[in-house]
Amino acid sequence: MRASFMAFADWVLPAMPYLTVMPIILPAFAAGLIALFRGVNLQRFIALGTLAALTVIAAVMIIVADTHGIQTVQMGGWEAPVGITMVADRLSSIMLFVSSIVLFAVMWYGISQGLRDGDDDDPVAVFLPTYMLLSMGVNLSFLAGDLFNLYVGFEVFLVASYVLLTLGASPQRVRAGIGYVMVSMASSMVFLFALALVYASVGTVNMAQAGIRMEELPSGTRAAIFATFIVAFGIKAAIFPLDAWLPDSYPTAASIVTAVFAGLLTKVGVYAIIRVRSTVFTDGALDSTLMVIALLTMIVGVMGAIAQNDIKRLMSFTLVSHIGYMIFGIALGSVAGLSGAIFYAVHHILVQTSLFLVVGLVERQAGSAQLRRLGSLLYTAPVIALLYLIPALNLGGIPPFSGFLGKVMLIQAGAEDGSWLAWVLIGGAVVTSLLTLYAMMTVWSKGFLRDRADAPEGDVVLARPANLAAREETVASGDRDDVGRVPAGMFLSTAFLVLASTGITFLAGPISNITDRAAQSAQDLSIYRSAVLIDDPSAPTRDLDAFLEQTGAGGGRDSLEHRDSSRPAGPTSTGVTTEMVPEPADAESNKEPNEVSR
């Protein structure tokens, strides 16, 4: 099998400079096409086709990154550290692939819902291109090789998320949107301030070069700058105590919006913490602080979940809680811990998105997501019951599901660490898993097993379907003639994600192997730096003229045009260059490349 992957990777390797930037270019191009064409069916086809293509491209990127090492693209012919560098390593490719699956499934779900509702009057021309821009921002965040373009990626998907959160313009959504905008603006300002601190301290925002120069700064300065980044990324990841905004914002949005927010946007924050921790701030000075944050995030989040009556709010609190598991793995600062964090992130993206889509099915079937209004769903909607039970048990950590396997990986990594704080975190992880299972089974007991006639408000439903329109009004259940009518596409898209999350269980060995290799390459600084920095990594970057002289371009800015026109920049001289660096294991004779013993 590996030989087949190697042969395929060899065949596709010449196209990698172009495939690497496709996850950024394709969604932007699709957004423009959708805005240009007026046919609703054509708009939907473009959106769904683009996301399907991105899923295939991301799968190819995983294969190439795993067999041939880190792929880098120097945009416009400007080499790092001055130029814009896109980096596709195992970590970013894995996140791209999983996010593409989620974006595709949620779009399928939303289109199916719209076809059933006849949403010709809904703001499709706003929703679809905005969704594409959200995808572009997420993908740029994963591929960015410098802090500034990571910031740009954050801003692109944050602006798109503002629009998606408030679609429908109901008072509740507008209020939640205002709060979300304020919190996101605060996160962006802190991020920009942290970026400025890095540039002022080391003279570059390229992550590979910044990591080298950070080693020369006093440890206190490094810790202070990293703490600023933790605040910026922690707001987006919803870690304690920066998580209060999430349970108030996400439940007000439409199910398709909440699902993609819960599955992806918080994980972009987690990814950013992993990336800057492994490339820029490598000394682990704040690992103990991150351990405490992880513990509090797990416990406070799950305690909030068990107190909820609204399923969306309950799921929002479990989302916060399980971010703590990923921070736990990052804070251990080991290959095993980081591998567990990546594995758990993959699991959680799929499972949490599945659960929010199931909540949308429950709203559609029963007319509400309030536990006091639900009951009898096991008998009236057995398919929805099955689609809920599988990811619920998965999230609760029941063997042999991927949630259990991911927690075991993290617990083993914590035991290998051996510190008292790691053992406290192990205890917290076990307690959080048990309380999560309790919260999930509370929903099962009240919403699916209980007779609806026994529910306190069992005869009350929402006044209209849970689509992009306002959903605050309630009426008697007899006044809704569409309750119980769920489009087949909504079932199929949800089942697709449930199967994908369950598939991790059956592919746990190969997936954990590649997360091991992703973690090892992320921890080995020489691999990342040699792939990104073609020239002397210690060269100054704030003086452009000096940089051009040092890299052979001549005497200053006037030579830039000559350099671009005289030197081939890629396979077809398009202004894109690529540097492909194999892992050290590839150079050793008689050894399988990229294999990491667990």
Over the stretch 429-479, which tens digit does the pLDDT of each residue have?
999 999 999 999 999 999 888 887 776 655 555 434 443 334 444 444 444
Does residue 255 lie within any of the structural domains? Answer: no
Instruction: Kindly tell me if the per-residue pLDDT of 104 is higher than 90.
Output: yes
Does residue 139 lie within any of the structural domains? Answer: no
Percent of the chain scored above 70 by pLDDT? 81
Going by pLDDT thresholds of 50, 70 and 90, the confidence category of residue 534 is low
Pick from 313, 308, 499: which is nearest to 394 by CA? 499
Residue 124, pLDDT score? 55
Instruction: Kindly tell me if the per-residue pLDDT of 209 is higher than 60.
Output: yes
What's the rounded Cα separation, in Å, for the pair 377 and 354?
A: 18
Does residue 410 lie within any of the structural domains? Answer: yes
Q: Per residue in 210-259, pLDDT tens?
A: 989 998 899 899 999 999 999 999 999 999 998 888 888 888 778 888 89
Does residue 371 lie within any of the structural domains? Answer: yes
10 Å CB burial of residue 149 (0-12, 13-18, 19+) is buried
- List the Cα angle 7/13/16 in 5-degree steps: 145
Mean pLDDT of the chain: 82
Going by pLDDT thresholds of 50, 70 and 90, the confidence category of residue 593 is very low
- List the Cα angle 100/104/108 in 5-degree steps: 170
Residue 164, pLDDT score? 85
Q: Are 132 and 27 in contact (CB under 8 A)?
A: yes
Q: Per residue in 13-51, pLDDT tens?
A: 888 888 999 999 999 999 999 888 878 888 889 999 999
Strongest mean pLDDT among 6-15, 254-263, 503-512: 503-512
Residue 592, pLDDT score? 41
| Residues sharing a CB contact under 8 Å with residue 104, sequence separation 6 or more, in sequence order | 48, 51, 52, 54, 55
Instruction: Kindly tell me if the per-residue pLDDT of 83 is higher than 90.
Output: no
Residue 168, pLDDT score? 65
Q: Are 160 and 176 in contact (CB under 8 A)?
A: no
* Residues listed for the chain: 598
Does residue 128 lie within any of the structural domains? Answer: no
Range of the domain at 412: 286-456+482-506
Provide the domain count of the chain: 1
The torsion of the CA quartet 154, 159, 165, 168, rounded to 10 degrees, works out to: -160
DSSP per-residue codes, 55-104:
HHHHHHHHHHHHHH-EEEEEETTPPTTTS-EEEE-HHHHHHHHHHHHHHH
Q: Are 527 and 70 in contact (CB under 8 A)?
A: yes
Average pLDDT on 357-373 reads 86
What's the rounded Cα separation, in Å, for the pair 269 and 259?
A: 16
Does residue 495 lie within any of the structural domains? Answer: yes
Q: Per residue in 372-381, pLDDT tens?
A: 888 888 888 8
Q: Are 295 and 329 in contact (CB under 8 A)?
A: no
Residue 86 has φ and ψ, to the nearest 5°, of -100, 130
**Amino acid occupying residue 467:** N
Residue 106 has φ and ψ, to the nearest 5°, of -70, -40
Going by pLDDT thresholds of 50, 70 and 90, the confidence category of residue 555 is very low
Does residue 393 lie within any of the structural domains? Answer: yes
Q: Per residue in 113-162, pLDDT tens?
A: 875 554 544 545 688 899 999 999 999 999 998 999 999 999 999 999 88
Among the ranges given (29-33, 185-189, 491-495, 554-558), the one the predictor scored with the smallest mean pLDDT:
554-558
Q: What is the pTM of this model?
A: 0.85
Pick from 486, 545, 531, 332: which is nearest to 424 by CA? 332
Percent of the chain scored above 90 by pLDDT? 48
Residue that the structure tokens 């309380």 belong to: 435
Does residue 346 lie within any of the structural domains? Answer: yes
Structure-block tokens of residue 543: 């003086």
Residue 546, pLDDT score? 46
Residue 225, pLDDT score? 94
Residue 560, pLDDT score? 31
Taking phi over 0 as left and psi of -120 to 50 as alpha, with beta for the rest, 375 belongs to: left
Residue 571, pLDDT score? 35
Instruction: Kindly tell me if the per-residue pLDDT of 580 is higher than 60.
Output: no
Instruction: Kindly tell me if the per-residue pLDDT of 80 is higher than 80.
Output: no
Going by pLDDT thresholds of 50, 70 and 90, the confidence category of residue 304 is very high
Going by pLDDT thresholds of 50, 70 and 90, the confidence category of residue 12 is confident
